[in-house]
């Protein structure tokens, strides 16, 4: 394999740079074909820097045209520029200004890193290492500088000129050109730099902070889409108010701008005062966006806004600390959604996501700790482990310290580290200092990969009225980490008596136990409760209080009991999942079907549906059996995705067929003529109704017709798309005509096209691969747009477990060939799609070999990017 330069970066090698940059003056001459960037960097040697130490700046794909220090051009021997940057051989040992002029070509920038052009709009993406594609710089997060940015551009091509901070001046230059000057008073790392120039529409609003600062808000977008930005604006204002209330954090500039662009590698970016968004996370109207889209927009708007304090005001010292800002900010956005919507429903959905994305990563070839200690390509570490597990770790901290103790620590964090680039160590220290606790062992969560397995068994002694729990933990080795340490486990729990109410105890020995939490620090503990009048049913890890896999010896009856009586809604949901999972595993293993247990699950589902106290959104989740990929991981090895698919369908039929009549009745009763609102109550009602519809498609001969009718009569995208997805994925007789209808009905809306692509790629029939290939081969298919590519090929690799892993290997080969092709234009998209292979070591032998062959063939390709070759090397172990 020949690749871009190989290099591994280690945390232990961290050292400050010999020179720092204090302030930056940038002048952009933006024009089609070539943009000129003049940079004046005010640079200082750090104390102790030896005379003659060269200044080494990062730079990629830059054409250097001029270079001077304090106004004097440098002679050729005073500097050297190559493909990785610029070295000034013997810089002055005092404050000086380095001036460079470079030419760049945003038009040909298909990587979408640095300055690029999206649908005519010039925009930037600099995190993590994109700024070096704009100018020569110390492109690392511990270099904090103030930025002043001047832009000139054609008035007609780019009437809107935006950068970070506040607008200082703007005006016409008379020759069809105009300019704007922006200044950001807050020192920031270059990854938070942003610039936008283009012909854009906008909506505006204002927000007044608690202390009376008036902030001008604007969302910029393609002309004609303004109305579709209103929900994002509403979400922004609610986020601003929430951060004041919950964390005491106010916004700090006079303007906050958001720009929606249609070519973007990730979801969105928190650039100071100028967030740039993938337009799929901004645009919403009932006819084209689903309830899930509305919720994602609200969440990501909040996430990027919350970064202003956790990420921007306090940033990361180096990229190993990425979860310092990401884990914490995901935790904050999860709390925001919990406060705005239903806490229980949010927790369940987040755990479903964690198990679907992070657990497989942690249990596969790409496992890494939330804070890794080495990397080859930092772009490959924007992972579920850094984000979602990072958030779980912060959540455990809050659970262990209590909300007040957690808030005290956060207050100290903001007070102590504002304006700094810092580390996980400093983050933990504020909680130690504010609460007088020792978090040395807790830190292991950040340093170690893998999902701990926790085993609990119990015994009751009627004679002495004692109840004993034996709890132990174990984390299996992960790549590069053969030995694992024990982690601190907050185990929220409760004991439930025979009548379904909580049970107390008079004494407890053998562990660290409070009213509702056991804290396990060692490998194992034996905890004995005394004064327990009868055998309780225990409920462990309430609210999913730690990211672990739990094994208990609870019986199916115990679980069904918990599903009815647990006071914790998360564990009520979990209990039903566990019952379903145990049944489906038996079915896959070919064991005789346990009719009694199936009947009991059916009855529990019936009760859930009929309950007068549970809300609709919760019911929708409770009526969802574990997905095929989760079942596969629970089986753990020699996975046959087809066998799992068959078993799961059989279980759905067995459990829900007897309820079909009632389900149809509930489906009708849940219908409503109320005008569409994206709020949690209405969305919950639609979620339950659509869940019933999807179950009926599988379990009831009348289901497909009902779904087709829903598709035709729908008045909003949530209902229309739910019907299309149920039919399209199951590939019933209606699938092809309805997909065709959908495509023409919404022709011209690229975000709806993505929905069509995603469903098309998830169809369960054998013809899907050929159809996906045909879609991709169509000359009109936008081959460089990340949203389109991910919707089609990403969905196939990640969400079509049966057809992607076809035994003949055709699914694997298609994806590796796609990766090789896209890698030449956009390595980030290629590397991300390739992670779909992470399940391969767990597959049964034929599929495993086919996957290995496809991956090995990809490895033979010439010139793979560092992004793709890094994933590939780790994938093949």
| Residue of 666, 631, 656 whose CA lies nearest to 645 | 631
Interface residue with ligand 0A1 among 136, 382, 676, 746 (CB under 6 A) is 382
State which residue, 194 or 400, has the beta carbon closest to ligand 0A1. 194
CB 755, min distance to Zn ion, A: 25
Q: Specify the stretch interacting with ligand 0A1 by CB under 6 A; choose among 265-273, 349-357, 610-618, 733-741.
A: 265-273
Burial class (CB within 10 angstroms; exposed 0-12, middle 13-18, buried 19+) of 465: middle
CB 307, min distance to Zn ion, A: 6
Positions in 821-850 near ligand 0A1 (CB under 6 A): 828
Task: Count the residues in the chain.
Answer: 877
List the catalytic residue out of 127, 304, 361, 377: 304
Name the CA dihedral angle for 629, 634, 638, 642, rounded to a multiple of 10 degrees.
Answer: -40
CB 284 within 8 A of CB 228: yes
Q: Name the one residue in this structure whose structure tokens are 């208990």.
A: 552
CB 297, min distance to Zn ion, A: 15
Interface residue with ligand 0A1 among 18, 185, 267, 531 (CB under 6 A) is 267
Q: Specify the stretch interacting with ligand 0A1 by CB under 6 A; choose among 51-59, 214-222, 268-276, 575-583.
A: 268-276
Query: Does 127 engage in binding with ligand 0A1 (CB under 6 A)?
Result: yes
Q: CA 64 to CA 100: how far, in whole Å? A: 7
Dihedral sign computed on CA atoms, order 216, 256, 281, 343: negative
Q: CA 655 to CA 620: how far, in whole Å? A: 15
Q: CA 354 to CA 363: how far, in whole Å? A: 12
CB 295 within 8 A of CB 337: yes
Q: CA 275 to CA 115: how far, in whole Å? A: 15
Q: CA 429 to CA 423: how far, in whole Å? A: 10
State which residue, 111 or 813, has the beta carbon closest to ligand 0A1. 111
Task: Return the bridge partners of 470, or none.
Answer: 457, 526
State which residue, 329 or 710, has the beta carbon closest to Zn ion. 329
127 classed as catalytic: no
Applying CB under 6 A, what is the total number of residues that bind ligand 0A1? 13
628 binds, among Zn ion, ligand 0A1, none (CB under 5 to 8 A by kind): none
CB 794, min distance to Zn ion, A: 20
CB 286 within 8 A of CB 295: no
State which residue, 421 or 513, has the beta carbon closest to ligand 0A1. 421
Positions in 178-237 near ligand 0A1 (CB under 6 A): none
Q: Specify the stretch interacting with Zn ion by CB under 5 A; choose among 319-327, 377-385, 406-414, 658-666.
A: 319-327
Query: Does 268 engage in binding with ligand 0A1 (CB under 6 A)?
Result: yes
Burial class (CB within 10 angstroms; exposed 0-12, middle 13-18, buried 19+) of 489: buried
Positions in 77-106 near ligand 0A1 (CB under 6 A): none
CB 67 within 8 A of CB 79: yes
State which residue, 322 or 348, has the beta carbon closest to Zn ion. 322
Q: CA 741 to CA 754: how far, in whole Å? A: 15
CB 330 within 8 A of CB 306: no
Q: Are strands 63-69 and 72-73 parallel, antiparallel or unpaired?
A: antiparallel
Interface residue with ligand 0A1 among 99, 263, 270, 734 (CB under 6 A) is 270
Q: CA 311 to CA 681: how far, in whole Å? A: 33
Question: For ligand 0A1, which residue has the nearest CB?
Answer: 266
Query: Does 870 engage in binding with ligand 0A1 (CB under 6 A)?
Result: no
Query: Does 139 engage in binding with ligand 0A1 (CB under 6 A)?
Result: no
Query: Does 269 engage in binding with ligand 0A1 (CB under 6 A)?
Result: yes
Query: Does 642 engage in binding with ligand 0A1 (CB under 6 A)?
Result: no
CB 382, min distance to ligand 0A1, A: 5
CB 729, min distance to ligand 0A1, A: 29
The count of other CB atoms within 10 Å of the CB of residue 548 is 20
CB 595, min distance to ligand 0A1, A: 49
Q: Specify the stretch interacting with Zn ion by CB under 5 A; choose among 48-56, 322-330, 721-729, 758-766.
A: 322-330
Interface residue with ligand 0A1 among 100, 262, 265, 473 (CB under 6 A) is 265
Q: CA 241 to CA 218: how far, in whole Å? A: 17
Q: Specify the stretch interacting with ligand 0A1 by CB under 6 A; choose among 63-71, 266-274, 289-297, 364-372.
A: 266-274
Q: Specify the stretch interacting with ligand 0A1 by CB under 6 A; choose among 144-152, 267-275, 514-522, 556-564.
A: 267-275
Burial class (CB within 10 angstroms; exposed 0-12, middle 13-18, buried 19+) of 420: middle
State which residue, 337 or 828, has the beta carbon closest to ligand 0A1. 828
CB 130, min distance to ligand 0A1, A: 7
State which residue, 192 or 348, has the beta carbon closest to ligand 0A1. 192
- Axis crossing angle, helix 680-699 with helix 291-306, rounded to the nearest 10: 130
Q: CA 574 to CA 181: how far, in whole Å? A: 55
Q: Specify the stretch interacting with Zn ion by CB under 5 A; choose among 162-170, 321-329, 579-587, 683-691.
A: 321-329
Q: Are strands 315-316 and 421-422 parallel, antiparallel or unpaired?
A: parallel
Q: CA 277 to CA 296: how far, in whole Å? A: 12
State which residue, 326 or 388, has the beta carbon closest to Zn ion. 326
Q: Specify the stretch interacting with ligand 0A1 by CB under 6 A; choose among 146-154, 209-217, 219-227, 260-268.
A: 260-268
State which residue, 377 or 616, has the beta carbon closest to ligand 0A1. 377
The count of other CB atoms within 10 Å of the CB of residue 660 is 18
CB 828, min distance to ligand 0A1, A: 6
CB 732, min distance to ligand 0A1, A: 38
268 binds, among ligand 0A1, Zn ion, none (CB under 5 to 8 A by kind): ligand 0A1
CB 175, min distance to ligand 0A1, A: 35
Interface residue with ligand 0A1 among 243, 298, 326, 642 (CB under 6 A) is 326
Strands of the sheet with 177-188, listed across from one edge: 72-73, 63-69, 96-104, 35-45, 19-29, 145-154, 177-188, 166-172
Strand, coil or helix: 326: helix
Q: Which whole-number Å values give the CA distances from 505 to 461, 465, 509, 528, 849, in the listed order? A: 14, 10, 11, 10, 55
Residues labelled catalytic: 304
Footprint of Zn ion (CB under 5 A)? 326, 329
Which residues make up the interface to ligand 0A1 (CB under 6 A)?
125, 127, 265-270, 303-304, 326, 382, 828
């Amino acid at each position: 394999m020949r690749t871009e330069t190989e290099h591994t970066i280690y945390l232990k090698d961290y050292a400050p740079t010999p020179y720092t940059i204090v302030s930056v003056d940038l002048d952009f001459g933006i024009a089609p074909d070539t943009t000129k960037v003049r940079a004046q960097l005010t640079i200082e040697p750090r104390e102790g820097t030896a005379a003659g130490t060269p200044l080494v700046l990062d730079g990629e794909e830059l054409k250097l045209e001029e270079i001077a220090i304090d106004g004097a051009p440098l002679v050729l021997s005073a500097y050297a520029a190559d493909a990785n940057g610029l070295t000034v051989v013997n810089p002055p040992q005092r404050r000086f200004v380095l001036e460079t002029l470079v030419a760049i070509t945003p038009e040909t920038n298909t990587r979408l890193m640095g300055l690029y052009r999206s649908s005519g709009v010039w925009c930037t993406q600099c995190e993590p290492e994109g700024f070096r594609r704009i100018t020569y710089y110390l492109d690392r997060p511990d270099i904090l500088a103030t930025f002043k940015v001047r832009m000139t551009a054609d008035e007609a091509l780019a009437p809107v000129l935006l950068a970070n901070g506040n607008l200082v001046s703007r005006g016409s230059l008379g020759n069809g050109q105009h300019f704007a000057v922006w200044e950001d008073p807050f020192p920031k790392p270059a990854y938070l730099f942003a610039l936008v120039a283009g012909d854009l529409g906008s909506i505006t609003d204002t927000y007044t902070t608690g202390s009376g600062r008036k902030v001008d808000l604007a969302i910029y977008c393609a002309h004609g889409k303004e109305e579709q930005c209103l929900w994002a604006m509403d979400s922004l204002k609610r986020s601003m108010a929430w951060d004041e209330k919950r964390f005491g954090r106010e916004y700090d500039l006079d303007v906050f701008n958001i720009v929606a662009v249609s070519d973007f590698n990730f979801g969105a970016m928190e650039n100071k005062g100028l967030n740039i968004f993938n337009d799929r996370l901004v645009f919403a109207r009932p006819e084209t966006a689903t309830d899930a889209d509305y919720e994602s927009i609200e969440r990501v708007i909040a996430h990027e806004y919350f970064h202003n304090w956790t990420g921007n005001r306090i940033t990361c010292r180096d990229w190993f600390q990425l979860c310092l800002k990401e884990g914490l900010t995901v935790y904050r956005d999860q709390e925001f959604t919990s406060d705005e919507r239903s806490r229980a429903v949010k927790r369940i959905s987040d755990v479903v996501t964690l198990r679907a994305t992070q657990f497989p990563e942690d249990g596969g070839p790409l496992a890494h700790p939330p804070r890794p200690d080495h990397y080859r390509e930092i772009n490959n570490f924007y992972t579920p482990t850094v984000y979602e597990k990072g958030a779980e770790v912060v959540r455990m901290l809050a659970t262990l310290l209590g909300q007040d103790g957690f808030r005290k620590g956060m207050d100290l964090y903001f007070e102590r580290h504002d304006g700094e680039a810092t580390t996980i160590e400093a983050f933990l220290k504020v909680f130690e200092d504010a609460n007088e606790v020792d978090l040395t062992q807790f830190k292991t969560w950040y340093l170690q990969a893998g999902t701990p397995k926790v085993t609990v068994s119990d015994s009751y002694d009627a004679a002495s009225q004692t109840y004993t729990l034996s709890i132990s933990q174990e984390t299996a080795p992960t790549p590069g980490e053969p030995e694992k340490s024990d982690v601190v486990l907050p185990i929220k729990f409760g004991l439930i008596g025979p009548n379904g109410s909580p049970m107390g105890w008079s004494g407890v020995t053998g562990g660290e136990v409070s009213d509702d939490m056991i804290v396990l620090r060692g490998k194992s503990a034996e905890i004995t409760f005394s004064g327990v009048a009868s055998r309780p049913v225990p409920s462990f890890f309430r609210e999913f209080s730690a990211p672990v896999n739990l094994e208990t010896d609870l019986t199916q009856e115990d679980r069904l009991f918990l599903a009815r009586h647990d006071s914790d809604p998360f564990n009520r949901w979990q209990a039903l999942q566990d019952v379903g999972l145990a049944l489906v595993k038996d079915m896959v293993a070919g064991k005789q079907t346990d009719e009694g247990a199936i009947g009991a699950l059916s009855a529990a589902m019936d009760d859930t549906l009929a309950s007068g106290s549970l809300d609709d959104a919760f019911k929708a989740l409770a009526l969802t059996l574990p997905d095929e990929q989760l079942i596969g991981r629970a089986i753990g090895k020699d996975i046959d995705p087809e066998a799992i698919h068959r078993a799961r369908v059989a279980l759905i039929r067995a459990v829900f067929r007897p309820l079909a009549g009632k389900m149809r009745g509930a489906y009708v009763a849940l219908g409503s003529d109320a005008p569409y609102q994206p709020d949690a109550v209405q969305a919950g009602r639609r979620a339950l109704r659509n869940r019933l519809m999807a179950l009926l498609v599988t379990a009831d001969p009348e289901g497909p017709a009902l779904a087709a009718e829903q598709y035709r009569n729908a008045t909003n995208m949530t209902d229309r798309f739910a019907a299309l997805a149920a039919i399209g994925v199951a590939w019933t007789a209606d699938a092809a005509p309805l997909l065709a209808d959908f495509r023409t009905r919404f022709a011209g809306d690229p975000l709806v096209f993505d929905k069509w692509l995603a469903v098309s790629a998830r169809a369960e029939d054998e013809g899907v691969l050929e159809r996906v290939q045909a879609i991709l081969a169509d000359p009109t298919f936008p081959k460089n747009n990340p949203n389109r590519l991910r919707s089609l090929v990403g969905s196939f690799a990640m969400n079509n477990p049966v057809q992607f892993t076809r035994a003949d290997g055709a699914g694997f080969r298609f994806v590796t060939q796609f990766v090789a092709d896209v890698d030449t234009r956009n390595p980030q998209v290629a590397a991300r799609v390739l992670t779909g292979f992470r399940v391969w070591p767990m597959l049964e032998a034929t599929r495993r070999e086919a996957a290995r062959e496809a991956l090995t063939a990809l490895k033979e390709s010439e010139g793979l990017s560092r992004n793709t070759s890094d994933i590939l090397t780790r994938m093949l172990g």
